[in-house]
Amino acid sequence: MANESPINTSFIPKRNLRSGYSGARKSTSITLVIALLLFISSSAVAGGVFLNKLLLVQSIEGEKGLRAQLAKAQTVFSEDKKLFEDITRFDSKIRAAELLLREHVSLAPLFRLLNERTLQTIRFNSFTYGSVDGRMNISLEGEAESFKSVALQSQEYVRSRRFRDVVFTDLNVDGDGTVIFSLSMSVDPLLVSYIKSTGSQ
């Protein structure tokens, strides 16, 4: 019995029990900090989104927002609609007047040129004119003292460069010895242009 080893009956541990749990506590505190940071950052983002939404709604729905500006613009437009229609009608009238002026013919310069270029041995009895494809054509019937007068008159009109395609036809001699003829020719469009003749553009 003397050789038997003594039995340890003490329940107090010989080692420090805290040393076994220190790693678990450290990992728990790091996880807690990370979770807390994630919560704070997500709350900040959610708050930013909410504030942005409020600002956006304010910019659209507010007293000076987009909707109010649109309503104001619609009011102004409806008030000025009659003025806009009047301006449009006036513009159409101006365009029509410009077209009429561009196409209007002034015969005064043509008669002046005929008076200057017609020989004294030539006399006209009739005058007609018409326009085809923007080109004015004139037809005249007249009398001349002789065939020589007709030939000289043809040269004079061609020399003026304002008359083109000068053609004398139906040459005949009446009982008095007077040469009767018909004349057709085209006229330079600028000569009979009302805008050119008045000097307005």
CATH code of the domain containing 114: 3.30.70.2830
Residue 147: band (very low, low, confident or very high) from pLDDT cuts 50, 70, 90: very high
Evaluate whether residue 6 is within a structural domain. no
Measured at the CA of 140, the angle between CA 135 and CA 141, to 5 degrees, comes to 160
* Tokens 């003397």, located at residue: 2
Is residue 179 in some structural domain? yes
Domain extent, residue 193, equals 105-198
Question: What are the distances in angstroms from CA 172 to CA 90, 93, 147, 150?
Answer: 57, 52, 9, 11
Q: For 38-47, what is the mean pLDDT? A: 88
In a domain, 1, yes or no: no
Q: Would you state the pLDDT for residue 182?
A: 94
**What average pLDDT score do residues 131-139 get?**
83
State which of 47-51, 67-71, 128-132, 138-142 shows the largest mean pLDDT.
138-142
The mean pLDDT value for 166-195 works out to 88
pLDDT at 14: 60
Q: Which of 43, 63, 79 is the C-terminal boundary of a domain?
A: 79
Same structural domain, 117 and 170: yes
User: Is the sign of the CA dihedral 96, 99, 105, 106 positive or negative?
Assistant: positive
- Judge if 121 and 182 occupy the same domain: yes
Helix (H) / strand (E) element for 130: namely strand 122-132
28 vs 17 pLDDT, higher one: 28
Question: Do 110 and 182 fall into the same domain?
Answer: yes
Confidence category of residue 76, pLDDT binned at 50, 70, 90:
confident
Residue type, 137: N
Give one DSSP letter per residue of 68-129, joined into a string: HHHHHHHHHHHHSHHHHHHHHHHHHHHHHHHHHHHH-B--HHHHHHHHHHS-TTEEEEEEEE
* 131 and 194 part of one domain: yes
Q: How far is the C-alpha of 103 from the C-alpha of 196, rounded, in Å? A: 11
Mean of pLDDT values over 111-132: 90
What is the pLDDT, as a whole number, of residue 126?
A: 93
pLDDT band at 127 (very low <50, low <70, confident <90, very high): very high
Min mean pLDDT across 101-110, 161-170, 177-186, 192-201 is at 192-201
The larger pLDDT score, comparing residue 194 to residue 2, is at 194
Residues 6+ apart with CB under 8 A from 14: none
Consecutive H or E run containing 138: strand 135-144
Q: How many CB atoms lie under 10 A from the CB of residue 121? A: 15
Residue 16 — pLDDT band, cuts 50, 70, 90? low
Same-domain check for residues 48 and 118: no
Both tokens of residue 94?
């101006």
How would residue 1 be classed by pLDDT, with cut points 50, 70 and 90? very low
Query: Given a cut of 90, is residue 123 above it in pLDDT?
Result: yes
